[in-house]
Chains A and B, each alone.
Chain A
Amino acid sequence: MDFSGRSIVSMRDFTREDIQHVVRRALEVKKGAYADCLRGKVLATLFFEPSTRTRLSFEAAMVRMGGQVFGFADPNVSSATKGETLSDTIRTVCGYCHVIAMRHRIEGAARLASEVSLVPVINAGDGANQHPTQTFLDLVTIQEEVGRLTNIRIGMLGDLKHGRTVHSLAMALSLFGAEFVFISPESLSMPEDLTAQLASAGLKFTEVRELSDIGKPLDVLYVTRIQKERFEDFQEYQKVAGSYRLTPAVLSQAGEKVRIMHPLPRVDEIAPEMDSLPNAVYFRQAHNGVPTRQALLGLVTGVIS
């Protein structure tokens, strides 16, 4: 397995073995391995679209491994405002650093950047398309909390139509033989493109409208935000959001052992009473962003094999 020099653009680029390798390394990092291994390395964080949480997570990852960071957090300070193309910005910046983390609202921007860059590019989100480091940290969390990635039974709840995190996670888990329960209003259900892929891979999935229809207990319930803007009718939004709000009663439907995950930030899809339950893993999940990005930064710069 050689990740050295490789860009992290899309979950579509990774095999089951690739994913297992990254997850293993991230858990080793978490146990204190590879300390200071990025000393002398420089990360450029190019955030053409602001995302404080993701950017800080990348910067923390780099600094904790002994590396250094420069970049911009806001497109208004980048040369893109002077009309420079993305390709030219990347061609220039790649000469200043050992690895680039970039976020852009344009879909496919990271792929294009990876094709012109002389150093690895890590996609920190390209519009509605991909956000692979989020998916890797989700997988690290599942491995850690459930104890395995293979054959898990996972429920996905909320806006499954627009949620790129659930799309990427479903695709990644499909390599491990997962069984899916998709819980959403009909207007926000999983895209047919994705369910067709799961079906052709021989995977089991069910689509239900209510939490009470989950069926057998779940290993994981992955909750996403339902955004007001997706509804034409505000009352309809309130009704849907209300019926999907998680309270401790969910354990009687999803099983006592279910791990509740959420990419954060949450609004009110998860009641605060849930936070103290052992089932609530969403804050630990968010913390896993740092060791996961540490492992990826180490792997693509070649200091971790």
Chain B
Amino acid sequence: MNEPKRAHKVYAIERGTVIDHIPSPMALKVINILGVTQQGILSVGINFPSEKLGHKDIVKVENLELTAEVTDRLSLVAPTATINIIEGWKVVEKRPIHLPREFVGILRCPNPKCVTNAEAARTRFLREGEGRTFAVRCAYCERLYRNPAELVV
């Protein structure tokens, strides 16, 4: 039996940002890392069937156009995601996730001897390597971490 095609996944928004192709079940991590929990209406869809991913999540953030600087953080938890900027019910910009050179203030260094844990310093991590299996190095204690997603606050 074929499922009827959905008119809108979750529901359409007039203005804002739609984050599609999030690997399931990372939607809540995506919201967290984008820091949008306090900002306007969020709608979250989890476990939609996807040809590319098997299952995918979708997050819609109303009335907020997220910049690439912010959405590129998703390279840590949802590198397959695509970003759609919506204005007047239409997609006005579509972009993939780019790998940033550094991650500022969104990861925590697990090294207990690191200065970022000893005093209120903003964390900074530098990316090492290309592609989806990159590592990050703490700019302070210089330790290398191969699973950056685990460091997300």
Which residues of A approach B to under 8 Å, CB–CB?
10, 12, 85-87, 105-109, 111-112, 126-130, 193
Which residue of the partner chain, among A10, A86, A112, A127, contacts B113 with CB atoms under 8 Å? Answer: A127
SS class, residues of chain B in contact with chain A:
loop
Known A106-B113, A107-B113; judge A85-B119 contact (CB<8 A): yes
B144/A106 in contact, CB under 8 A = no
| Cross-chain contact of B141 among A85, A86, A107, A193 (Cβ < 8 A) | A107
| CB atoms of B114 and A107 under 8 A apart | yes
Task: Say whether B144 contacts A129, CB under 8 Å.
Answer: no
Identify B142's interface contact among A105, A106, A109, A129, CB under 8 A. Answer: A129
Tell me the nearest residue of chain B to A200, going by C-beta: B129
User: Is the beta-carbon distance between B115 and A108 smaller than 8 angstroms?
Assistant: yes
Cα distance, A127 to B141, chains bound together (Å): 9
- Report chain B residues within 8 Å CB of A130: 142
Q: How far is the CA of A181 from the CA of B2 in the complex (A)?
A: 64
Expressed in whole angstroms, the minimum distance between the Cβ of A128 and any Cβ of chain B is 7
Which B residues lie within 8 Å of A193 (CB)? Answer: 144
Number of interface residues of B (CB under 8 A): 16
A129/B119 contact (C-beta < 8 A), A106-B114, A107-B111, A107-B113 known:
no
Question: A103 CB to closest chain B CB, in angstroms?
Answer: 13
Q: Decide if A108 touches B141 in the complex (CB within 8 Å).
A: yes
A105 CB contacts on chain B under 8 angstroms: 113
Chain B, 77-91, contact with A by CB distance < 8 Å: what is the 0/1 string?
000000000000000
A107-B137 Cα distance, complex, nearest whole Å: 13
- Check A108 against B116 for contact (C-beta < 8 Å): yes
Q: Which 8 pairs between the two chains have the least Cβ-Cβ distance?
A: A108-B140, A107-B141, A108-B115, A108-B141, A106-B115, A107-B113, A109-B115, A112-B115
Give Cα A146 to B116, complex, Å.
Answer: 40
Q: Would A108 and B144 count as touching, CB distance under 8 A?
A: no
Q: Does B70 contact A (CB under 8 A)?
A: no
Q: What is the CB-to-nearest-CB distance from B96 to chain A, in angstroms, rounded to a whole number?
A: 26
A111 touches B119 (CB 8 A): no
User: A39: shortest Cβ distance to chain B, in Å?
Assistant: 34
What is the CA–CA distance of A86 and B119 in the complex, to the nearest angstrom?
A: 8
Tell me the complex Cα distance, A108–B118, Å. Answer: 10
Q: For the complex, what is the distance from the CA of A60 to the CA of B137, rounded to whole Å?
A: 35
B-side contacts of A87, CB under 8 Å = 119, 121
**CB pair B119 A112 closer than 8 Å:** yes
Name the A residues within 8 Å of B140 (CB-CB): 107-108, 111-112
